Amino acid sequence: MQPIIGIVADDLTGGMETAAMLVALGVDCGFVTKPALVPQLAGSLAIVVAQKTRVVPAAEAVAKSQDAARQLLAIGARRLFFKYCATFDSTDDGNIGPVADSLLALTRATHTGFCPSSGDLARSVFQGHLFVGAQLVSESPKRFDPLTPMTDPNLPRVLQRQSKLAVGLFPHDMVRAEPAGQRAYLDRLVAQGVRHIIMDAIYPEDLDAIAALTVDWPLMTGNAPIMRHYPPLWRDRGWLDDAPPKRPIPAVEGPGVVLAGSCAERTLEQLAVFEQARPVHRIDIASVGSVEAAVGAALDWAGPHLDSGPVSIATSANPEQVNAAQARFGRQGAAAFAEAILGRLAVELRKRGVRRFVVAGGETSGTVVEQLGIDRLRISAYKGPGIARATTEEGETVALSLKSGKLGPPDMLLPTLESMRHPEH
């Protein structure tokens, strides 16, 4: 059967969330981290290829994303979707713009849309400006992001700095206009040479309207929530039946660990709640001598605790600690050092019998999964922002929950680890 959609995700947490949303809506969705594995999923109606491309050099992000897209198109995917963060995490060099440019050329589409909005997360776009709740993104904690600080809320302006193609806006009054008015406005934008179109979206009904407008576009881009509005349209076209996919998630026993690399306020809050019940080992990367020293100390600490229940090991830090680490290693160097520690820890913990992992942070998740040698996952149904789980498809079963640092309720860590001990049908 021809896949309805192929999804190119710029990190593993967002890719997992997108797949989980589709599974919850009865769409059989495969998930891989290596484009070469796409042919193994040719029978799936949706396929996510999630790679760690958000903060790598733009040329590398383009090459990896094109590889994934070509594999998806080669097995007959009807259309592509480029998934990125609700807060449009990127720098003036990319990677959203360069990847979108390349995918537009690959699909030979005349234009594509950008819809990062998420009602679940109170992320909205109005008159092209990105809001986090009632704040412009430039006034929110995202302005302090250690890798992709968002200091400009004007998305057409942000995207234009990244892209060689003309950027325009599809304003809210057009999003809610009648289809004929929408098409006429869109035609005018394209006639003016606009290729990338930022979509205003505030309410769920806006996402309904955007999905209806873009359902047949060869390429669409955005955050995961817009994806939930496509399956009803696919059913109307007869591409999707009402029988849910039968991909049960098995129970996984064994010790459980939270590995946290995100420095988001929500992750710090979640660690504080976790620590009320179970111990947390915090690694201050600004003062650690080496990866080996940090890993050895963490393993020595974890050993006596694991038999009594889950533990957490974290490089997560507040803004002052982040500044100290970046002063020592540089912005990219500090992140790479923290990821190297947590990736090595994941491997060593697995050797010691750990089979349940919650990983906080998109970059951290990519490193952990890569270091564990995992390249294909079975995704469970979406339970809410940041809450989804998966198990490995091959070899000894390992359970994973890969969560964005910004997402999930404060008390999610322990319950998520516990849920892995029970099957999901």
- Summarised one tens digit per residue, pLDDT across range 215-239 is 999 999 999 999 999 999 999 999 9
Q: How confident is the model at residue 244 (pLDDT cuts 50, 70, 90)?
A: low
Same domain flag for 304 and 226: no
Last residue of a domain, one of 207, 236, 265: 236
73 by DSSP, 3-state: which? helix
163: Cα within 13 Å, side-chain hemisphere: 26
Task: Read off the pLDDT of each residue in 28-50 and give the average, rounded to a whole number.
Answer: 94
Task: Read off the pLDDT of each residue in 192-201 and give the average, rounded to a whole number.
Answer: 98
Q: Are 232 and 201 in contact (CB under 8 A)?
A: no
Same domain flag for 262 and 393: yes
Q: Are 299 and 246 in contact (CB under 8 A)?
A: no
Task: Read off the pLDDT of each residue in 294-322 and give the average, rounded to a whole number.
Answer: 90
Phi, psi (5° rounding) for residue 180?
A: -65, -40
CA separation for the pair 165, 143 (Å, rounded):
26
CA separation for the pair 315, 300 (Å, rounded):
16
Same domain flag for 79 and 164: yes
Last residue of a domain, one of 206, 236, 266: 236
CATH code of the domain containing 214? 3.40.50.10840
**For position 308, what pLDDT does the model report?**
92
Which amino acid, one-letter code, is at 45? L
246 lies in some domain: no
Residue carrying the six token digits 């919850």: 24
241 lies in some domain: no
Which amino acid, one-letter code, is at 67? D
Same domain flag for 260 and 228: no
Q: Each residue of 134-149: pLDDT tens digit?
A: 999 999 888 887 778 8
**For position 192, what pLDDT does the model report?**
97
395 lies in some domain: yes
136 by DSSP, 3-state: which? strand
CATH code of the domain containing 362? 3.40.980.20
CA separation for the pair 196, 167 (Å, rounded):
5
Same domain flag for 297 and 328: yes
Domain carrying residue 343? 256-419
Q: How confident is the model at residue 91 (pLDDT cuts 50, 70, 90)?
A: confident
Same domain flag for 195 and 327: no
Nearest CA-CA partner of 424 in 244, 299, 287: 244
pTM for the full model?
0.90
93 lies in some domain: yes
Query: How many CB atoms are located within 10 Å of the residue 202 CB?
Result: 16
Q: Are 11 and 363 in contact (CB under 8 A)?
A: yes
- DSSP for residue 245: P
Where is pLDDT greater, at 251 or 263?
251
CB crowding 403-412: b at 16 or more within 10 Å, else e: bbbbbbeeeb
**For position 288, what pLDDT does the model report?**
86
Same domain flag for 222 and 358: no
Q: Each residue of 56-67: pLDDT tens digit?
A: 999 999 999 999
Percentage of the chain beyond pLDDT 70 is 99
Number of domains making up the chain: 2
Q: In Å, how far are 82, 90, 206 from 198, measured between CA atoms?
A: 14, 15, 13
Q: Which residues, at least 6 apart from 158, have a Cβ–Cβ distance to it below 8 Å?
A: 88, 90, 152
Q: How confident is the model at residue 213 (pLDDT cuts 50, 70, 90)?
A: very high
- From first CA to last CA, the distance across the chain in angstroms is 24
Same domain flag for 153 and 186: yes
Same domain flag for 64 and 178: yes
Same domain flag for 184 and 328: no
Same domain flag for 91 and 223: yes
81 lies in some domain: yes
- DSSP for residue 394: S
66 lies in some domain: yes
Task: Read off the pLDDT of each residue in 400-408 and give the average, rounded to a whole number.
Answer: 88
**For position 245, what pLDDT does the model report?**
64
CA 152 to chain centre: 21
Tell me the H-state helices in 192-330. 204-214, 231-236, 265-275, 291-306, 319-329
Q: Which helix (H) or strand (E) holds 8?
A: strand 5-9
